[in-house]
């Protein structure tokens, strides 16, 4: 590891003990295609707050990490990587029901889990997303869609970290187009979103 990556690892470990850190971690364990050489440092924040903190540490140290969700849409080179990786998907994310048929979730949650959460709470609107193998963040990045549904139809707002600032995007500010968004065009890390759904019949 380079000095700056070592400092990043130490800083993150001190500030957020619940963040998982791995060194020389093969990316083939974190991509659906099972390819990718070792990352000097792989960081898995526990949720949106520590994700923001980890992004800040990387920025402060002028590191340019690769951000991944579930690694379902990535081809990673097989030789050792020279940069750290931040993975938002932890495997234990949950969502939160808000008033007015809305759902809030961190961007590391899988679409499958999110769709099931909506169904279990009597909400419709995310059925299209259940079979798409990524996270909420990965789906926002490319305005994922299927069966006539797309993220643009359900995304009310998203908290974002970019260039040292945190701000909230609402509606059209997401810049959704066909398989693209503000994230694919301008970068930034989606931290968590609120989705607007409708009352429905779980059956």
Ligand X SMILES: Cc1cc2nc3c(=O)[nH]c(=O)nc-3n(C[C@H](O)[C@H](O)[C@H](O)COP(=O)(O)OP(=O)(O)OC[C@H]3O[C@@H](n4cnc5c(N)ncnc54)[C@H](O)[C@@H]3O)c2cc1C
Return residues touching ligand X (CB under 6 A).
Answer: 32, 67-74, 88, 107, 132-135, 137-139, 141-142, 144-146, 183, 189-190
Q: How far is the CB of 31 from ligand X (least distance, A)?
A: 8
The number of helix segments (H) and strand segments (E) in the chain equals 5, 13
Q: How far is the CB of 144 from ligand X (least distance, A)?
A: 3
Answer for the pair 71, 32: CB distance below 8 angstroms, yes or no. Answer: yes
Q: Residue 172 or 178: which CB sits closer to ligand X?
A: 178
Q: How far is the CB of 3 from ligand X (least distance, A)?
A: 25
Nearest to 46 by CA among 3, 108, 97, 134: 108
Q: How far is the CB of 174 from ligand X (least distance, A)?
A: 11
Cβ-count burial of 59 within 10 angstroms (0-12 exposed, 13-18 middle, 19+ buried)? middle
Q: Residue 101 or 192: which CB sits closer to ligand X?
A: 192
Q: Residue 89 or 101: which CB sits closer to ligand X?
A: 89
The span from the CA of 90 to the CA of 45, in Å, is 8
Q: Residue 52 or 101: which CB sits closer to ligand X?
A: 52
196 membership: H or E segment, kind and range: strand 189-196
């Amino acid at each position: 590891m380079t000095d700056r990556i070592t400092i990043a690892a130490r800083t993150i470990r001190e500030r957020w003990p619940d963040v998982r850190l791995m060194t020389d971690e093969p990316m083939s364990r974190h991509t659906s295609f099972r390819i990718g050489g070792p990352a000097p440092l792989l960081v898995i924040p526990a949720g949106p707050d520590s994700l923001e903190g980890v992004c800040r540490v990387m920025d402060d140290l002028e590191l340019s990490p690769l951000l991944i969700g579930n690694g379902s849409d990535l081809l990673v080179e097989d030789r050792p990587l020279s940069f750290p990786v931040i993975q938002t998907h932890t495997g234990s994310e949950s969502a939160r029901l808000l008033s007015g048929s809305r759902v809030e979730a961190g961007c590391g949650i899988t679409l499958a889990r999110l769709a099931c959460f909506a169904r279990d709470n009597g909400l419709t609107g995310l059925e299209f997303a259940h079979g798409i193998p990524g996270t909420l963040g990965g789906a926002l990045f490319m305005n994922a869609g299927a069966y006539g549904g797309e993220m643009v139809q359900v995304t009310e707002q998203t908290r974002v970290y970019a260039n040292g600032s945190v701000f909230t995007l609402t509606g059209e500010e997401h810049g959704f187009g066909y398989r693209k968004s503000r994230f694919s065009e301008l970068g930034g890390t989606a931290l968590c979103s609120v989705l607007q759904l409708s009352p429905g019949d779980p059956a």
